[in-house]
Amino acid sequence: DVKVTQSSRYLVKRTGEKVFLECVQDMDHENMFWYRQDPGLGLRLIYFSYDVKMKEKGDIPEGYSVSREKKERFSLILESASTNQTSMYLCASIGDRRKAYEQYFGPGTRLTVT
């Protein structure tokens, strides 16, 4: 089974702190994604990566950056956390063409910025 893990289920940080959210997948997938989920807004794509050291902006990249140094790991970085970044963050990894790019999600990190 595909497994996508995220470093924390719950995280509380202070405004201005630098925050790292880690995501690891064990299926050798090229494509990885970071979403945030907010009530009434659904899931919105922050950043994605097609390969190591490659990254592309999603729909709401402002205030975030990412790092993909190894294929299995995709990190989301909040350089200076703000209260409007309080949200649920979901990482995803995508299967290959044979599985029609089926997307597997991690359990999520609920981040609170105070």
Partner 1 sequence: AQKVTQAQTEISVVEKEDVTLDCVYETRDTTYYLFWYKQPPSGELVFLIRRNSFDEQNEISGRYSWNFQKSTSSFNFTITASQVVDSAVYFCALRPGANSKLTFGKGITLSVRP
Question: Hey, what are 108's tokens?
Answer: 């999520």
> Among all chains, which residue has been given the structure tokens 């200076």?
80
The smaller minimum CB distance to partner 1, of residues 81 and 92, is found at 92
CB of 107 to partner 1, least distance (A): 5
**Tokens 């299967």 belong to which residue?**
95
Distance CA 10, CA 53 (A): 27
107 binds partner 1 (CB under 8 A): yes
Decide: is 88 part of the binding site for partner 1 (CB under 8 A).
Answer: yes
Which residue in 13, 71, 77, 105 binds partner 1 (CB under 8 A)? 105
**Run of H or E including 109:** strand 109-113
Binding segment for partner 1 (CB under 8 A), chosen from 11-19, 20-28, 77-85, 105-113, is 105-113
Backbone angles phi, psi at 54, to 5 degrees: -110, 145
Q: Which of 11, 43, 60, 77 binds partner 1 (CB under 8 A)?
A: 43
Residue number with CB closer to partner 1 (67 or 103): 103
Looking at residue 84, what DSSP letter applies?
Answer: G
Q: Checking phi first, is residue 79 left (phi over 0); if not, alpha (psi -120 to 50) or beta?
A: alpha
Q: Which residues bind to partner 1, rule: CB under 8 A?
A: 9, 31, 33, 35, 40-45, 48, 50, 58, 88, 90, 92, 94, 99-108, 110
